[in-house]
A and B are shown apart, each in its own frame.
Chain A
């Protein structure tokens, strides 16, 4: 009998113990907190991986930084503010690839993802910091045409003074690289949360990862719970970065077609394997009418989405990700 009692006690004790072999770290890059958790890995391996991951985020933070220059790095700040129109410069492979990804996505998203929107984004940023007023069309009349950018064999050139802004997908892009790195290192159970850009590896326990989706403008409420593994999850919402003026909400995502932060939903969350793609798609869907977004997602394979608007809209197979 005593043995049975001891066994029961042992089980109680073990129930608290699933944190073994989990290593985590929080970083601050790209203006956001980045949380990384690695499961089922030994200390040495974990520490090396976390250190490598930090270097990756740091590298891309510097490369895509719009507001700071760094010694020995040709980065976005340099291309936007130092490089002269029609002047050529050689950039690194990494910067070239991430810019090319953006250029490719311009075509795939019908121009809604436009990395040359820097000038207009800057105008809105000023107003958002003032928290009052709205720019007029004259102020927004700045060069944003992506065709002014030329990038061939790592040689970058701009034909007019367009400014790059990679914010629509840089977090997702780097997170995807980090995911690939971890898988190459045989660390398959991981959780990355880069300021809302989530990438998950294999599950580390019996249950899959439990992910809660926050209600826009009321984020202490969880309106949906997901049970998932091996996916990326990204949400775009007007509640993430906005200002209110004269009764209207102005979000930080600027619609390239209207030059205003127009959107048709309070938030949209995209679930798909590739983190960069999830980031792109969530930004894109945010700017589309929900009907169009639903059609788009349902036509594609391997991507699901949920919209939080006047009501909640689901793509066709979204329910496979919901917690039962």
Chain B
């Protein structure tokens, strides 16, 4: 990887970390757990559309680790939770982008819902309790909305970059 690329990725990484941290401070987040704006996803989505999957993976994983160091703690349940959400989300965004005709907004929605689904699955496994699945409708509902918002933001970002 050349220097230019490394610095680009580092920049994007720091932005996504900052976005994550800002988000955790905003009170709206607190109302129902798991419901978040997913601002950091703007970065991941951007990378997915302008760079490679590998780059997106690096940034995703490193972001979770950095936020873990700074905020939630490493290798505890919350960390596992974030990691699974991020990975699930990225993998399915990549797959759907490759196989379907969804626009960037649609892919963003996919990212959002699979982030939630990933977290629910991990929560069910870690707590051995299937009832958590009843949480899904609420999460799915907010995922659609945040997905659209994030998708539109990223779309505009890419348009700006190209001009």
Contacts and interface: CB of A to CB of B under 8 A. Distances in A.
Contacts, number: 8
Nearest to A8: B117
A1 interface: yes
A1 B100 contact: yes
| Contact residues of B: prevailing secondary structure | helix
A2 B100 contact: yes
Nearest to B140: A12
B95 to A, nearest CB: 8
Interface string B75-115: 00000000000000000000110011000000000000000
Interface of A: 1-2, 12, 15
Nearest to B117: A8
B106 to A, nearest CB: 12
Range of interface residues on B (Cβ < 8 Å): under 10
Contacts of A12: 133, 136
Interface of B: 95-96, 99-100, 133, 136
A1 B96 contact: yes
A15 B133 CA distance: 10
Nearest to B96: A1
Instruction: Kindly list the 6 A-B residue pairs having the minimum CB-CB distance in the complex, ordered from nearest.
Output: A1-B99, A1-B100, A1-B96, A15-B133, A12-B136, A2-B100
A15 B96 CA distance: 25
Contacts of B100: 1-2
Contacts of A15: 133
A12 B134 CA distance: 10
A121 B162 CA distance: 91
Given A1-B96, A12-B136, 6 more contacts: A1-B95, A1-B99, A1-B100, A2-B100, A12-B133, A15-B133
Interface centre among A2, A12, A15 (most CB of B within 10 A): A12
8 contacts: A1-B95, A1-B96, A1-B99, A1-B100, A2-B100, A12-B133, A12-B136, A15-B133
A12 B95 CA distance: 21
Contacts of A2: 100
Contacts of A1: 95-96, 99-100
B141 to A, nearest CB: 14
A15 B99 CA distance: 28
A139 to B, nearest CB: 53
Nearest to B95: A1
A114 to B, nearest CB: 46
